[in-house]
Amino acid sequence: MRCPFCAHEDSQVKDSRSSEDGAAIRRRRQCEACGARFTTFERIQLRELTVVKSEAGSELPRREPFDREKLIRSVSIACRKRPLEPAQIDRLVSSIQRQLETQGEAEVSSRRIGELVMEGLQALDSVAYIRFASVYKDFREARDFEEFAGSVTEAGRG
């Protein structure tokens, strides 16, 4: 592990324990070159995932490695200025990642990831859910937004 202070490659683990959510390992490290101490969080990865993206107008789907940070950014944008803690977003993304890794497939469609995000946000925050849906479902007009928001509020009353 590279030292964030001097960029030396080797560090020694001084302490190791599970994170609060159990999805990562927290390690206290000490750089062998400069002696600085720092903390790393290492996530347990069950399998390498490849995201398959279908693009309009293209016959061949595009493939790219699953990027947890990209998913966190997307969910965070939908949750911006909402009363949610970063830990809630991290738990949602960890849950989605765990579901994808345990499904048994090395490839997952971007559509499936979007569906899982929608399910998670619907339970977490209705405004973030509507925000994410407006991009995911590619709303073209204000009417699309109004209809979707209306269906969400109707479902909430039922």
What are the tens digits of pLDDT across the range 31-60?
A: 999 999 999 988 766 678 999 998 767 778
pLDDT tens readout for residues 61-99: 899 999 999 999 999 999 999 999 998 999 999 999 989
Residue 102 in contact with residue 108, Cβ under 8 Å? no
The number of distinct structural domains making up the chain is 2
For residues 144 and 22, what is the distance between their CA atoms, to the nearest angstrom?
40
Same domain, 31 and 107: no
Same domain, 54 and 124: yes
Mean pLDDT, residues 105-114:
94
For 54, the domain range is: 50-157
Residue 36 in contact with residue 64, Cβ under 8 Å? no
Same domain, 101 and 127: yes
Same domain, 87 and 22: no
Same domain, 35 and 102: no
Mean pLDDT, the chain, whole residue set: 88
Element (H, E) at 69: helix 68-79
Q: Is residue 6 part of a domain?
A: no
